[in-house]
Amino acid sequence: MAIIPNHLSVLDYIQELKKLIFSSNFNIKNNSSPSPIFSISCEVEPIDPLVFISVLQTDKQPIFYWQNQRKKEAIAAIGAIKSLNIDKTICHQNKDIDRFQKCQEFINYNQKLIHILNEDQDNYQPHFFTYFRFFEQAYNLDNKSFPLATIFLPFIQLIKKDNKYSVTINTYNQNKKEILNYLKDNFSEKIELNYKVNYSQENKINSHLENAKYQGFIDKVNKGLEAIKSEKLTKIVVAHALEIKTENKFNIIKSLENLRNNHPDCYIFSIGNEDQEYFIGASPERLLSIKDNQLVSDALAGSAPRGKSEDEDFLIGNNLLDSEKEKREHQAVSNFIFNQLSAMGLQPKKASLQLLKLSNIQHLWTPIYAEIKEEINPLEIVKQLHPTPAVAGVPIEVACQEIEVSEKFDRSLYAAPIGWLDLQGNCEFIVGIRSALIKENYARLYAGAGIVIGSKPEQELTEIKLKFQALLQALI
């Protein structure tokens, strides 16, 4: 029977562990000369990744959280032993900067500094975490929450695959024995015992927002339809933002827990920066996954609500599969992904059109597969796939120009690539939709709808209300 440590010993353990992870690295981290990074991993007992973040997160440190319950996978990362922010200053120095290439160069440089101090190096891999803004233009970046691109190697990461959990610490401290002693000393148990969530009074959010809040969306849909009628484009994705301010600070951990419970088939994610601004959401859309040189990308476009009964749900799903308007919207996305991969010299294959059924909405879905060539790195593919017609329109360049003119808010990370990469070329990226930008007691919620010929503003409004409702129900 395990001996439960007393309250004081648990607090001491957490404080000393944080000191080992973060403080002991500080002076070397700020030294300009490249120092070797030692990556030390250990399998641990099961632990909730949200508890892991809640207990070990420190001020002025970025966080990354990602979980897909259907796939039984989760990742949590805290702090940055190495990081790169591509911001306005860097862009002014080089106007033709390629943010994806810069992030790949960051990986190439830093992976040479990493020494994995584990016998089983294949199963214990340090990960790089990265995200990009929707638009790549550098202008008007002042006072924005996130730069054009960020990539970092964390101080500590937790990875869950099936029923196996492992913790990796990246450090300048070569004392493997000291670090492993902490990880093997009832790590998960002590983290769980220390877990405290600030259960502040729940925020009272009016989830039935008045229609006046949506008039701007209707106007944008009508403008999009006019552009389609004039043959400037064949599709445009109209996004809308709702801004909410509450009496109390939002509880990020509890909100993520709600998203996880409400949307078990989605990727639940959170990115936190040094200023404690968070971008969270529940995305159904995988942009790219590579494992052992096998690529999968999801064409996801065309939507309908779920039915109230099994029979109604079946009927709605069949109508979605038979809808010429929805299939036309979907085809634009699947063709784009297929053609972009083909242009890179790959030989993609499409699966059959099917339905992806989520808790409150269902989508037309076509998985696309390809085998990766060694000379192509994952971020090259991300660059070619972002943005897809699912989040921009057709033609993409014209649609993006229209979006910048018509949308009066900052998309930031909304509908942009968010993901991780390891040292073996494996990666996974999602599209940051069904999301919210949160700081303290302020939140901006994002949702969008694809507009094509035949779209009806009232139906599109119903669709984005469904998406907003899912977010509003989770925020606390």
Residue position matching structure tokens 């101080």 = 155
Could you give the residue numbers annotated as active site?
Answer: 235, 285
Tokens of 222: 């009508």
Using only C-alpha atoms, the chain has a radius of gyration, in whole angstroms, of: 23
Cα end-to-end span (Å), the chain: 38
Neighbouring-strand partners of residue 205: none
Residue with tokens 């944080």: 18
3 state SS of 319: helix
Q: State the Cα–Cα distance between residues 136 and 266, nearest whole angstrom.
A: 26
Reduce the DSSP state of residue 241 to 3 states and report it. strand
Q: Which two tokens stand for residue 197?
A: 């969530």
* Tokens matching residue 449: 């709808």
Q: How many helices (H) and strands (E) does the chain have?
A: 14, 22
Report the C-alpha gap between 410 and 241 in whole angstroms. Answer: 9
Q: Give the integer Cα–Cα distance in Å for 16 and 310.
A: 54
Count of beta carbons in the 10 Å neighbourhood of residue 48? 21
Q: What is the DSSP string of 337-379?
A: HHHHHHHTT---EEPPPEEEE-SSEEEEEEEEEEEPPTT--HH
The string over 309-336, giving b where at least 16 C-beta atoms fall within 10 Å of a residue's C-beta and e elsewhere, is eeeebeebbeebbebeebbbbbbbbbeb
Q: Are 167 and 25 in contact (CB under 8 A)?
A: no
Helix, coil or strand: residue 243: strand
DSSP notation for 37-105: EEEEEEEE----HHHHHHHH--TT--EEEEEETTTTEEEEEE--SEEEEE-HHHHHH-TT--HHHHHHH
- Pair of tokens at residue 58: 């420190």
